[in-house]
Amino acid sequence: MAGGTWDPTAIPVRPGLYVNFVEAAAAQIQGGARGTVAIPLLTYSGTAQEKQVYTIEKEQQAVELFGAEHIRSIKLAMQGGAKEVLVYTMPAAPLAADYTEMRGTLDTHLFNVFVFDGEFQATEQTAVQSWVAQNRTEGKHFMVVFGGDAAADSDPTVGNSRSTSLNDDYVVNLINGVKLDDEVLTSAEFAPYMAGLIAGTAINRSITYTKVNGLDVNKRLTNAEVKTAIQAGSLVLVFDGEKVRVEQGIASSKKKIRAVRARQAVATDVTKTASDAYIGKIDNHADGQAALMAAIKAYLERLEASNVLQDIDVQLDPNQSSTGDQVFLAISYQEIDTMERILLTVNV
């Protein structure tokens, strides 16, 4: 089924429900819980064949298919909270064309967060950023998590520059990694864990201040460097003396991940609702339009009951004519954000 954004001067040709999100300063759209992480696996030694897609729900599956020594990224995504990992097996010594083919194959699968298999290639990160944007215009919504290598992690200005160049609501750029019991992971190597954390976080929660696996970070940032990183749209891990945690859950565009994921949830779920029960099945008259609006409002009210959003309004768009086979809706609501700054005034 078709979907995506629409332009009043170029009405879509394919049947479908088209959602145009008009952002307002006081009403950003907030996130929903999603559980599938997609990873293009670089190496494997089990029974898996190249250029295939495998859905992994348990670690033992991954061991049998790919070999125990090749599944670190898959394990990290699951440890982060992903309910399943969609694995695409890359050919040996993959070329640019193989990455293009991988993206084309994943276009036909559903997932919520994409992340590389611990690798850092600036060219491929740029290509994925364009891929994300193209999918967004076509009605498929997912986030991506990027990271850097050891050299990039050692200098936060390099990671911040990457955030600036990859500026996108759907892109998360991690600029430091973690120290574990027996190894140090760069931000690119730890990115699958963050992808799983984003995918698995509940619809009414933020990843801000969330504790992550690790004894320490591979690069501690000063207070000034943390502030600069946040202002650049970088995702930063900090060690607070006891644990490693996420400083603030933001995308490279500096928008809250929780807010971005709600836009994705509403766009995806409302479209699916329309596809399942309304498109091609309901007459486009007052009663049919009222039924569609009631279904969408019921969906939003479920989000409201989970403290995701409030102040819901669903009505026919007064600036468009809902006649023939076209229905134009105006949907608005107010997000409920997570408490992230507690400011105390102590009177003595």
Q: Which of 193, 275, 205, 274 is nearest to 237 (CA)?
A: 193
Cβ burial, residue 331 (10 Å; 0-12/13-18/19+): buried
- Mean pLDDT over 162-179 rounds to 97
Q: Percent of the chain having pLDDT more than 90?
A: 61
Query: Can you tell me the mean pLDDT for 248-258?
Result: 95
pLDDT score, position 75:
97
Strand ranges across the sheet with 237-239: 211-212, 244-246, 237-239
Mean pLDDT of 105-130: 97
Task: Check residue 147 and give its pLDDT.
Answer: 98
- As annotated, the residues of the chain forming the CATH 3.30.1490.450 domain(s) are 36-258
Tell whether the model's pLDDT for residue 245 goes beyond 80. yes
pTM: 0.88
Amino acid at 3: G
Rounded distance between C-alpha atoms, residue 106 and residue 89, angstroms:
11
Maximum Cα–Cα distance for the chain, whole Å? Answer: 70
Is residue 22's pLDDT more than 50?
Answer: no
Model confidence over 185-221: pLDDT tens digits?
A: 999 999 999 999 999 887 678 999 999 999 999 999 9
209 exposed, middle or buried (CB, 10 Å; 0-12, 13-18, 19+)? middle
H-type helices in the chain, by residue range? 59-66, 72-80, 96-106, 122-137, 150-153, 156-165, 187-200, 223-232, 257-277, 286-305
The answer to whether 206 and 258 have CB atoms below 8 angstroms apart is yes
- pLDDT (0 to 100) of residue 2: 60
pLDDT of residue 267: 81
Q: How crowded is residue 345: how many other Cβ atoms within 10 Å of its Cβ?
A: 4
Q: Is the pLDDT of residue 172 over 90?
A: yes
Average pLDDT, the chain: 87
**Letter string b/e over residues 146-170, b meaning 16 or more CB atoms within 10 A of that residue's CB:** bbbbbebbeebeebbbbbeebbbbb
The pLDDT of residue 153: 98
Of the listed ranges 17-26, 42-51, 105-114, 184-193, the least confidently predicted one is: 17-26
How high is the pLDDT of residue 167? 97
Q: How much is the pLDDT for 196? A: 96
Quote the pLDDT of residue 57: 95
Q: What is the pLDDT of residue 33?
A: 38
Is the pLDDT at 24 greater than 50, yes or no?
no
CATH topology of domain 36-258: Dna Ligase; domain 1 (3.30.1490)
pLDDT value, residue 27: 26
**pLDDT (average), residues 113-131:** 98
What's the pLDDT score for residue 338? Answer: 60
